[in-house]
Amino acid sequence: MTSTPRFTLHPDFQVGAVDPRLYGSFIEHLGRAVYGGIYEPGHPSADEEGFRTDVIDLIKEIDVPVVRYPGGNFVSGYNWEDGVGPKDQRPRRVELAWKSIETNQFGLNEFVRWCQKAGTSPMMAINLGTRGVDEARAIVEYCNFPGGSYWSDQRIAHGFRQPHDIKLWCLGNEMDGPWQIGHKTADEYGRVAAESAKVMKWIDPSIELVACSSSHRGMSTYPLWDMTVLDHTYELVEYLSLHTYFGNLEGDTAHFLARSVGMDAFIRECIATCDYIKAKKRSKKTLNLSFDEWNVWFHSRDQDRKREPWTVAPPLLEDCYTFEDALVVGCMLISLLKHADRVKIACMAQLVNVIAPIMTENGGPAWRQTIYYPYAHASRYGRGTVLQMNLNSPTYADKEFGDVPYIEAAAVHHAPENRLVIFAVNRNLDSALELQGDLRAFAGYTVEQVIQLTHPDPMAVNSRDNPLNVVPKAGGEVKIENGQFSARLEKLSWNVILLKGEPV
């Protein structure tokens, strides 16, 4: 293996186009994601509908294209009808997934209105835990049917004459998990998902559907579950979902930073499963992936075990993210980009307060966590076509993943703006590395901007009282001479390098 990381880029050698929905997120009725997160009537920044505008401003800064809602585990016991109509008539419910009390003061219509104000689009999940086909047809009729039917007229009576026109729907959540309300076998879920998909598309043929895969790669039924589910649903859905979370309970930073290698393998395996079913069915259709839950999650678990149950919007899953967490998130974003030909949707879980890039204080400020920055950078600059990098990097030995490259990187070419963006993480704990590249195919390109996220302490965090402790800085040693690129990547760093070509 080479001692100097090196790549070659050419605009004709492509991975695939980036679907903007790759930079989606997730809001569940869990902890303070909704109440105290995006919705807090009486907060100094709240608008006339109770939405926190300080949070909306931070979300717009990321440019989040789609938000999955209302779960998550929550959706498998949720009656969506509880959250529509007059608020004073909405029931309070015992919510079993997270042992909380749900007031239903925020529901489907509020979510659609919030999406409009936050500049994003809804990705709705339906309950296939305690409910099924009947709910599936009813909720699509309520949301998307123009009028003149029972459920569409209910929507109109609730103040929404125009259909919500929601185009993206999840067929339940993690239905192979014993923790899930209404947990099902693969055949049980495959059948109800197929029948639900059928009636949903009879109501609105223009919608796209996501089928549940295994809840994570470590499930004992993986990947047989996925194969069975796709046997039932392959021709009825557009996407198969993936979920994964990483943690560092051992305090081993080098191994933690290697975890995205497992994410790459998970994606490849799910693609192979989809393509096997395609071949088995002699189908002409290629199924894509929706990585609709991904993040770092482990800091808050001990604290959550001590919470008193059956309260309204308790602080749950409130991970305070470190600088090393931000590097792992950067590597995960690069994994998604490297598979942009098949991963078309992804949702960082979640958006506010609950394992989130944005934190708030009830009645107080909102601030950016460390993981906010790589997420925002990728969303803002990672639009276009991912190129094959052919990256060779020195490696280090990992107990689980074998040889792990010190440099993880992806390149995105945005031809209309004649811009090339390189995202790179240096996993090396001790040394800066020089990244070299052959850019002769991009003659005339010059360095437009360099952004680096570094910190001397891998455990550094941003907090209410010190929200700017870990922040990106402009500048870095990058040069292009005679088509040869070189960049100094500091040890333990997230790097965004923007190169600009001459006007076309």
d(CA 178, CA 357): 29
For 328-351, how does the pLDDT look when each residue is reduced to its tens digit (9 = 90+)? Answer: 999 999 999 999 999 999 999 999
Structure tokens at 267: 């994606």
pLDDT above 70 covers what percent of the chain? 99
Mean pLDDT, residues 202-229: 96
Coil, strand or helix: which one is 212?
coil
Mean pLDDT, residues 470-490: 96
Closest CA to 391 of 415, 411, 418, 420: 411
Give the pLDDT score at 1: 42
For 317-333, how does the pLDDT look when each residue is reduced to its tens digit (9 = 90+)? Answer: 999 999 999 999 999 99
pLDDT reading at 503 higher than 80: no
Mean pLDDT, residues 85-104: 98
For 347-376, how does the pLDDT look when each residue is reduced to its tens digit (9 = 90+)? Answer: 999 999 999 999 999 999 999 999 999 999
CATH of region 6-10+387-500, choose from 2.60.40.1180, 2.30.30.100, 3.40.50.620, 3.90.950.10: 2.60.40.1180
CATH topology of 6-10+387-500 equal to that of 19-252+288-315+344-368? no
pTM: 0.97
241 DSSP β-pair partners: 290
d(CA 4, CA 216): 35
Mean pLDDT, residues 93-119: 98
Mean pLDDT, residues 170-185: 97
Give the pLDDT score at 3: 78
d(CA 458, CA 323): 5
Mean pLDDT, residues 400-417: 97
Quickly state the pLDDT bin for 504 (edges 50, 70, 90). Answer: low
Q: For residues 425 and 330, is the Cβ–Cβ distance under 8 A?
A: yes
Closest CA to 53 of 297, 358, 396, 325: 358
Quickly state the pLDDT bin for 133 (edges 50, 70, 90). Answer: very high
Query: Would you kindly state where each structural domain of the chain is located, as residue ranges?
Result: 6-10+387-500, 19-252+288-315+344-368
Mean pLDDT, residues 42-55: 98
User: Residues with catalytic annotation?
Assistant: 174, 293
Residue type, 256: F
CATH of region 19-252+288-315+344-368, choose from 1.10.3720.10, 3.40.50.2300, 3.30.565.10, 3.20.20.80: 3.20.20.80
Q: For residues 127 and 66, is the Cβ–Cβ distance under 8 A?
A: no
Q: Which regions of 336-460 does DSSP assign to beta strands (E)?
A: 343-348, 358-360, 366-368, 385-387, 395-398, 402-405, 407-414, 419-426, 433-438, 446-453
- 220 contacts: CB under 8 Å, gap ≥ 6: none
pLDDT reading at 481 higher than 70: yes
